[in-house]
């Protein structure tokens, strides 16, 4: 008895390939002491010179790129600038200490205030600080952010969430029917 087995399966799978971390930011310059680029992950330092680490992070920001700066007094100067080059279109988030959010920097006026919050904790004192998040979708290119509010208790922080990753589509087909 001969059987004909006909099984056609078309399966389309979209795979995002991430071989190694590649930062969407480059050419960072600041009028403060220094900076470092890293990923937003609970337990990682938020500033270069304080024992303050990310405690709670909104899901949308987990694994996003973060520009860590210092709490150097220069970040509170009226001429403070943080500039960087965005390699791809991204949503840029500026995290502002919740105490300072009502009097946020003037240049943040046309940014959207998000409902999500970010919390850091001081590893020495156990004191928690909540940050309000302002966001704006920005194109690839040079980005320049302005000064903190003079009365700010902590410098703002910058988080970059890439809008989309390049993905590759693979379509898998079953072998031809066996007869």
Mind listing the pLDDT tens digit for each residue in 43-68? 998 887 888 899 999 999 999 999 88
Residue 6, pLDDT > 50, answer no
- Within a domain: 125: yes
- Within a domain: 12: no
pLDDT band at 76 (very low <50, low <70, confident <90, very high): low
Structural domain total, the chain: 1
- Within a domain: 15: no
Per the structure, the complete domain to which residue 159 belongs is given by 35-165
Query: How many C-beta atoms lie closer than 10 Å to residue 9's C-beta?
Result: 8
The reported pTM is 0.75
Task: Compute the chain's Rg from CA coordinates.
Answer: 22
User: Which residues neighbour 164 within 8 Å (Cβ) at sequence distance 6 or greater?
Assistant: none
CA separation for the pair 22, 41 (Å, rounded): 16
pLDDT band at 156 (very low <50, low <70, confident <90, very high): confident
- Within a domain: 21: no
**Mean pLDDT taken over the chain:** 77
29-38, 57-66, 78-87: which range is least confident on average?
29-38
User: Which residues neighbour 86 within 8 Å (Cβ) at sequence distance 6 or greater?
Assistant: 24, 25, 92, 138, 139, 140, 141, 142, 143, 160
């Amino acid at each position: 008895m001969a059987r004909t087995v006909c099984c056609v399966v078309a399966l389309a799978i979209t795979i995002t390939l991430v071989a190694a971390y590649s930062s969407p930011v480059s050419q960072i310059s600041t009028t403060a002491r220094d900076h470092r680029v890293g990923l937003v992950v609970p337990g990682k330092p938020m500033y270069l010179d304080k024992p303050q680490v990310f405690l709670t992070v909104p899901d949308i920001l987990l694994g996003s790129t973060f520009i860590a700066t210092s709490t150097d007094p220069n970040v509170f100067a009226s001429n403070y600038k943080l500039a960087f080059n965005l390699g791809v279109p991204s949503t840029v988030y500026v995290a502002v200490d919740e105490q300072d959010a009502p009097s946020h920097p003037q240049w943040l006026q046309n940014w959207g205030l998000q409902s999500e919050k970010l919390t850091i904790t001081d590893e020495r004192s156990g004191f928690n600080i909540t940050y309000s998040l302002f966001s704006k979708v920005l194109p690839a290119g040079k980005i320049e952010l302005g000064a903190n509010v003079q009365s700010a208790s902590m410098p703002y922080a910058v988080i970059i969430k890439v809008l989309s990753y390049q993905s590759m589509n693979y379509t898998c087909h079953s072998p031809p029917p066996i007869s």
